[in-house]
Amino acid sequence: MSTTYTIDTATSRANPTPAPLKRLTVPAIRKRKGGEPLVMLTAYTVRTAQLLDPHCDMLLVGDSLGQVVYGLPSTVPVTLEMMAAHGAAVVRGSYHALVVIDMPFGSYEASPEKAFESAAFLLKATGAAAVKLEGGEAMAPTVRFLSERGVPVMGHVGLTPQAVNALGGYGARGRSEAEAAKIVADASAVAAAGAFAVVIEGVVEPIAVAITESVACPTIGIGASARCDGQVLVAEDMLGLFERVPRFVKRFDDLAGRVGDAAARYAAEVRARQFPGPDQVYAPKD
C-alpha cells in the first residue's frame, strides 16, 4: 500500500509549494566547464535557500556561517555539528541547486580516513551532494581518497580562510611569482585528484585565468576573475546586510538599510499605538 503525504503549505511558512525543478547533479556541474557560467551563493537557512534556489546552480553552506550567523572572529571555531544543522536546513529549503557543504577546520586535515569520516557524517546528516575542503597539493591525496569512495569534492585554493592564522590576514594572494606558481600548482593537483570543481579565492586575476585555462573541471571565482567558469559570493554580502565587505564584493541591494527602515516604522507605530490596527486584531463573534 502506498501513501501520499500532502503538506498544507497555506499554514506553514517553512514549507511553501516547491517549484517543479529537477535538482542539478555533480556530473551536470562538471559538464558546464567552458559553458554558461555557474551561479553559486551561500545559504545557511531554509528561507534563504528557498529564495536563492531558483536562481542558483549551486548553494554553498559555507563555514562563513561562523562569522555571518554566529558572530565569530573567523571560520576556525566552526564545528561539524554547526555545519550539519545548517546544511540540513538548506537542503530542506532547496529543490533545484546542488548543495555543497564546507568541511570545517580540523575535520579533515589529519588524514584521508578522518576526512572520510567527517564527510560521511555531513552527507548523511544533511542530504547535501558534495563537500568542500580547503588546500592544495597537501590535500590532493585526501581529495582522491574521498572521490574514489563516492564523496564528490569541491576544492578551494588561493586565499583559504581556515588558514588565516598562518596567512596573517585576508589579503589577496599570489602577488609574488613564487606564490602565484604555488597556487596554480595547488589547483592543478586538486583537480587532477578528482575535484569536480575548484573555488579560487582572493588571488590576482592572471592566476585565476591561468588555472581556469589549465584544469579540466570548472573553476568558481570569488575575488578572482570573470573568466572563471562560475562565481560565488556570501549572500549576505551581496545583499548589503553588512557595513564592511571585501573589495571583491558587489552589493546588489541595501537590505540592511531597508530592514532598518522597516524596523523604525514598526517601532514608531507601536509607540504611537497605531499597531496593531483593526486588521491585525480579532473581533469577538456576534
- Check: CB of residue 66 under 8 Å from CB of residue 74: yes
Q: Taking the mean position of all CA atoms in its chain, how far away is CA 132?
A: 9
Q: Look up cell 585554493; give the residue.
A: 157
Q: Confirm or deny that 102 is annotated as ligand binding.
A: yes
Q: Confirm or deny that 8 is annotated as ligand binding.
A: no
Bridge partner list, 230:
38, 220
Count Cα neighbours of 280 within 13 Å in the Cβ-side half-sphere.
Answer: 7
Q: Confirm or deny that 236 is annotated as ligand binding.
A: no
Q: Confirm or deny that 134 is annotated as ligand binding.
A: yes
Q: Confirm or deny that 63 is annotated as ligand binding.
A: yes
| Catalytic hit among 201, 213, 236, 269 | 201
Locate 177 and state its grid cell.
611569482
- Check: CB of residue 147 under 8 Å from CB of residue 130: no
Show Cβ contacts of residue 154 under 8 Å, excluding neighbours closer than 6 positions: 100, 130, 131, 132, 133, 195, 196, 197, 198, 199, 220
Bridge-based pairing of strands 230-233 and 219-222 is: parallel
- 96: number of Cβ within 10 Å: 18
Bridge-based pairing of strands 98-102 and 130-132 is: parallel
201: annotated active-site residue: yes
Binding-site residue numbers for Mg(2+) are 63, 102, 134
Binding-site residue numbers are 63-64, 102, 132, 134
Binding-site residue numbers for 3-methyl-2-oxobutanoate are 63-64, 102, 132
Active-site amino acid positions: 201
